[in-house]
Amino acid sequence: MAFEFTDDNFEKEATRGVAMIDFWAEWCGPCRIIAPHIEALSQEYAGKAKIGKLDVDSNPQVAIKYRIRNIPTILILKDGEVFDKHVGVASKAQLAEKLEAALA
């Protein structure tokens, strides 16, 4: 299961190594489309990258910090710095390609 990022754990969990964060909300249709990709990638990249989701309605502080205005937004952080950003629906292959680039 994908990791659940929150305002409280984000700094500790997302700032070391490579992290992929799916900024989403329960009411967001496109977020539901991308959710299975995030789940699959979290299993495939276990031990290589921290992959998870952050509910913007429950955790607004991180979304504000990274200026998330549209969802779904996928942020890839490398050692706490934004490495890549994708807004909208993406295929699993597209997300894996971005993840591989960050891990290289």
Instruction: Identify the active-site residue in 19, 20, 21, 31.
Output: 31
53 token code pair: 């989701």
Query: Is 28 a known active-site residue?
Result: yes
Instruction: Identify the active-site residue in 18, 21, 28, 71.
Output: 28
Q: What number of H helices and E strands is found in the chain?
A: 4, 5
Query: Is 31 a known active-site residue?
Result: yes
39 token code pair: 């789940």
Q: Are 57 and 64 in contact (CB under 8 A)?
A: no
Q: Which residues are catalytic?
A: 28, 31
